[in-house]
Amino acid sequence: MPFKYRILVLDDHEFSCARICSVFADAGFIHMEAVQTGAQALKRMHAEHFDIVIMDIRMPDMDGVQFISRLASENLTPMLAICSSCSRRIMNSVSLMAKEVGLFVLDAFSKPFAPDDAQTIINKLRRKVATDLPYPDVRFTPPVVFDKWAIESALNTHKIHAWFQPKKALRTGEIVGAEALARWDHPEHGFILPGSFLAAIHHFKREYQLLLSMLEDALEAHRAWRDLGYTIPVSVNLPAPLLENQSLPDELERIAHEWDVPTGNINFELLEDETTAAPEHYYMGASRLRLKGFGLAQDDFGKGYSSMYNLISMPFTELKIDRAFVTGATDDAARGAALTSAVQLGKQLGLTVTAEGVETFDELEFLRRIGCDCAQGFLISSALKSSDFALLLLNEQRRQALPSEVA
């Protein structure tokens, strides 16, 4: 059966364009078009819809980085594949940049494009179709500016609420946790991801209200899953500046008791590049959270600048490695070495080590080999509503996933 995806090939060499189109045609694709400049590609994409853009990076007039930036600024969201003679590290860097602006990157390939590369894209498209949800949980949301009234209204009416991304143990394949991620069910713009509204939350100083909302959603979900026979620890992001409020640990403990959820089943994730105005409040708040039995995770490890000092100074129970280390680790020796070192460090400190942003089976197997404990990412599951998370738990129990597989 032919594949109906519409593919746009962008390469300044006509021969490369012809080869890529030929390989896709042999693989069963029927809609291919090629252009030699970024400007031509943008013009065609505004005129017609393309599902996939396969692109070179090193091009005259508009290079691949500039082209990706234009895609984001012009609200064009095709899936991307990179095919270039640039080094693997450059391709990985550009891939990460594309993901950061909200684009889905299928993979990056070295020239010349080969039949195996087309098959890799086919396999990833099939996995994407299998894991895509019937309701929106896309990575990209067109930029919208939200005023104070919109933010407060969304929080007060609970239009901003939690969805849950599962965390799996790599040794057993079992779901061992759920991270609460904010989603805004907007009446005009649909489901909006936090990257589009967290800055406004911060600007209007509504982090505390969002924290309480996410926590209550997480505790409600935890109780619902517990009623079905599943005890799944929940994780909630805690902006470190809120630890300036010295009564915050007491407030969080009170809420947990009201919901009859043991504090040991609640983890708070602190971003590594956030702290308090007074450093002693940061250490005081984190220590009191641990004394009350809450778990404490260093989130996005490796992304900020004070990672190592925070890690050895704070009473963390979990280390969450940023996806920047995970993406491309199987192809980039430097990235793989950094990921291995981070996992080993976490293990030596007695922490549970979780890798974020896992998107390929190769990445998953690499993490298993280096001893990583847990993984999150689109390969395992995107974020789900609480009720859909419960269905996932039921399906996992029926399937009795083997340790070497991800269900």
Q: What is the spatial distance between Cα 352 and Cα 225, in angstroms, rounded to a whole number?
A: 23
Domain final residue, candidates 131, 164, 190: 131
Tokens 């220590």 belong to residue = 287
**One domain for residues 265 and 355:** yes
**One domain for residues 126 and 156:** no
Using a 10 angstrom Cβ sphere, with 0-12 exposed, 13-18 middle and 19 or more buried, the burial of residue 129 is: exposed
Q: Tokens for 365?
A: 């197997």
Confidence (pTM): 0.74
**One domain for residues 156 and 289:** yes
**One domain for residues 97 and 181:** no
DSSP-derived 3-state class of residue 238? coil
pLDDT tens over the chain, length 407 residues: 578 899 999 999 999 999 999 999 999 999 999 999 999 999 999 999 999 999 999 999 899 999 999 999 999 999 999 999 998 878 888 988 898 888 989 999 999 999 999 999 998 888 766 554 433 343 444 456 678 898 999 999 999 999 999 999 999 999 999 999 999 988 887 788 888 888 889 889 999 999 999 999 999 999 999 999 999 999 999 998 999 999 999 999 999 999 999 999 999 999 755 666 677 888 899 999 999 999 999 888 866 555 677 788 889 999 999 888 898 788 778 889 999 999 999 999 999 999 999 988 999 999 999 999 999 998 899 999 999 999 999 988 877 555 555 44
pLDDT for the residue numbered 407? 45
Q: Which CATH number is 219's domain given? A: 3.20.20.450
**One domain for residues 252 and 336:** yes
pLDDT for the residue numbered 123? 86
Q: End-to-end CA distance of the chain: give it in Å, rounded.
A: 26
**One domain for residues 233 and 375:** yes
Residue 82 within any structural domain of the chain: yes
Q: Which CATH number is 71's domain given? A: 3.40.50.2300
pLDDT for the residue numbered 199? 85
pLDDT for the residue numbered 224? 97
Which residue pairs, CB below 8 angstroms and at least 24 apart, start in 298-304?
298/269, 298/270, 298/272, 299/237, 299/269, 299/270, 299/271, 299/272, 300/271, 300/272, 300/273, 300/356, 301/272, 301/342, 301/346, 302/272, 302/338, 302/342, 303/272, 303/273, 304/271, 304/272, 304/273
**One domain for residues 163 and 122:** no
Q: Tokens for 182?
A: 């904010």
Q: 42 phi and psi, to 5 degrees?
A: -60, -40
| Structural domain of 119 | 3-131
Amino acid (one-letter) located at 83: C
Q: In the beta sheet, which residues pair with residue 321?
A: 301, 355
